[in-house]
Structure 1
Amino acid sequence: MVSVTPKARNIEITAEGLQEDLARLEIQKQALERELAAVTAHFGSVQRALSALQALMPESVPPAPAARPADVVAEAPATVAPATVPSADEAEDGAGDGDEDRAEDASGAGDADGSKSYGKLTEQILAYFADAGNTDVRARDVASALGRDTDSGSINAVRSTLDRLVGQSRVRRVGRGLYRAAKR
């Protein structure tokens, strides 16, 4: 009979325990990966449906909040902010609310000839696209060109205005987060 030292026996027991833990963790990992894949697929379809519905919503209703799948995995439920959330195109750049632009646009009631007067930001964006021609640009690039890239609120105001201009067919969305001057 071979004599095994207590120390060697403890190492053997520990190794067996770790192998059992490893097998259990591998099964749990596979289950979580399947669940994440299902949630990610569902998230994508909900996000696309929400984007389609937002295009049909009146201008006065702000878009509902959304997060990217990576944000959903990384955040605890308590960290989700109750503020407005970007559309699918805005989500890529981390966009948000455009209250600043709405305040600027609301200030112009109309001209003497009865035509609608647009806010300063709207006019600046339209002038930018008039100069940009047939070039695809991101909201962040527009904000930078207008000197409005100092904080997220200013960039978000540009994004909100761009989305509104897309809804009015004054600017075209040509890709995820990409905009181009509307054809005239």
Structure 2
Amino acid sequence: MVPASRTAHNIEVTAESLQEDLSRLELQKQALERELAAVVAHLDTVQRALGALEVMLAAAPQAGAPADTLPTASPASPTTSADIARTERGTGREKEPARRAARPKGAPERTYGRLTEQILDYFAKVGDTDVRARDVAVALSRATDSGSINAIRSTLDRLVGASRIRRTGRGLYRAL
């Protein structure tokens, strides 16, 4: 049998260890709560900005569209209370955006998104040269923060998967 003093000592050591763990976990919880608050604030900002951009895109004229099909709303300011509410909430997604509705009759519908088309145009210009995602971002005048670079990298990876471009090395891409 274990002596009572040894058992009491083991209990004290365990309690001290648990107390240290508790302090460490409380600090970690506070740090995570601050980080989560920052992420939520950033998410809200990005959603509002995206909503405002979608309203502007919906009102922007498309190149080559006949004058009678162009939207008349000003892209700088939403025109209806629903547009304003969508902009403020950051939920400006519509089932059928006006830019699709403004497409001239007989024009083929796009099969890729705007970023994908820009990337494919860029690769057509650079030809047989290895480029990195950061090079593409700079060439397209996009932000060079990690989020923007990752968006471009994801698009490049999708294009590699669709056999539209090829990967020539770690982080290097080239037109076919």
TM range (shorter): 0.3 to 0.5
Using structure 2 for the length normalisation, give the TM-score: 0.39
TM-score (norm 1): 0.38
